[in-house]
Amino acid sequence: MKALYDVPAPAKLNLFLRVTGRRPDGLHLLQSAIMLIDWCDTLHFELRADGALTREDLGEALPPDDLVLRAARSLQAEAGTAHGAHIAIRKCVPAQAGLGGGSSDAATCLLALNRLWDLNLPLSRLARLGLALGADVPFFLGGHDAWVEGIGEQLTPVELPSARFAVVKPPQGLETGLVFRDAELKERVDAAIISGFAANPNGAFERDLPGTFRENPFEYGRNDLQSVACRLCPGVAQALEWLGSQGLNARMTGSGSAVFARLPRDQALQGAPAGWCVRECGNLEAHPLVGWAPSDGSR
């Protein structure tokens, strides 16, 4: 039987996150720099000739209708294919953490089934499907660290130096919707858009400010959601404080409960609280599935 095994779905870190406004449909406009890290879920795909889509959880149980099955159905309908698939998922990236685990799984599913079903749909078409599933899915499909704007659909690749990071998730998760519906955040959605980062015609950035993103990308900016998250989920504040006690400058990633800090090469973490998920990660040069879909043209 035709199959694809051990297909990775890497997590991400938001190096900073600004809320820059809100569209008439209620979706928030964001600006962020997002980086791929080497913390991955693993998926397996087996071709089914009967058109059925089934899922098997190899670790923790997932919701019955998760983003992976939704992505598979979306691609199946878009392509009009009679193929189906059995998908097995081994979750390693925690949920409700702001690490993009579900979105990354969905992106990997789109790329893998595009190959398994011999569809050869271009990335632009997969990205349109992905954006309907979640704001982070187009980033994972793009395959590279990126400066991200809009609701997640405007991507400009950036190059980041290799580094190590401490990533900490407290026992509690944090639902994205709770953060974005919070009254405190609603009062700040008119925050000014960051200046000095306009794309030039070559797709690179002009970075000539003191302390610019280019010179120190891992310390730039802040996460606008952090104060709201600390109030909604005390574990976020506790994780920030613990990393601070290690002499690290920590911040929240995304809209979940995980926080992170750059970790010096010669430093090891000490005394993590019981029940916390603590991991040392490195950043990736590119997504492991780069090239699995054509990057230009349309069908």
Q: Name the nearest CA neighbour of 275 among 179, 174, 173, 176.
A: 173
Catalytic status, residue 91: no
In what helix (H) or strand (E) does residue 66 lie, and over which residues does it extend?
A: none
Q: Which residue has the tokens 């979750």?
A: 91
pTM: 0.90
Which one-letter amino acid corresponds to residue 104?
S
Q: What is the pLDDT of residue 213?
A: 72
Would residue 240 be called left, alpha or beta, if left means φ above 0 and alpha means ψ between -120 and 50 degrees? alpha
Strands in 259-263's sheet, in edge-to-edge order, are: 251-252, 259-263, 164-169, 277-282
d(CA 232, CA 181): 11
Radius of gyration of the chain from its Cα atoms, rounded to whole angstroms: 19
CATH classification of 1-294, choosing from 3.40.50.920, 3.40.50.2300, 3.30.230.10, 3.30.70.1110?
A: 3.30.230.10
Q: What is the pLDDT of residue 208?
A: 32
In what helix (H) or strand (E) does residue 228 lie, and over which residues does it extend?
A: helix 226-232
Which one-letter amino acid corresponds to residue 234?
P
DSSP 168: E
- How is residue 252 written in tokens? 């929240």
Do 12 and 35 form a contact (C-beta atoms < 8 A)?
A: yes
The percentage of residues in the chain with a pLDDT greater than 90, rounded to a whole number, is: 68
Among the ranges given (75-79, 250-254, 293-297), the one the predictor scored with the smallest mean pLDDT: 293-297
Catalytic status, residue 105: no
Q: Which of 149-153, 178-182, 216-220, 282-286 has the highest mean pLDDT?
A: 282-286
| pLDDT, tens digit (0-9, with 9 covering 90-100), for 181-238 | 888 877 655 443 333 333 333 333 333 322 467 778 888 888 999 999 999 999 999 9
The C-alpha angle 218, 219, 224, rounded to 5 degrees, equals 105
- Catalytic choice (41, 105, 136, 145): 136
User: Phi and psi at residue 259, in whole multiples of 5°?
Assistant: -130, 165
Q: Name the nearest CA neighbour of 254 among 296, 224, 293.
A: 224
Confidence of residue 7 (pLDDT cuts 50, 70, 90): very high
Neighbours of 209 (CB within 10 A): 14
Confidence of residue 61 (pLDDT cuts 50, 70, 90): confident
Residues in the chain: 299
The torsion of the CA quartet 53, 130, 260, 97, rounded to 10 degrees, works out to -50
Query: 25 pLDDT exceeds 90?
Result: no
- Catalytic choice (12, 41, 145, 169): 12
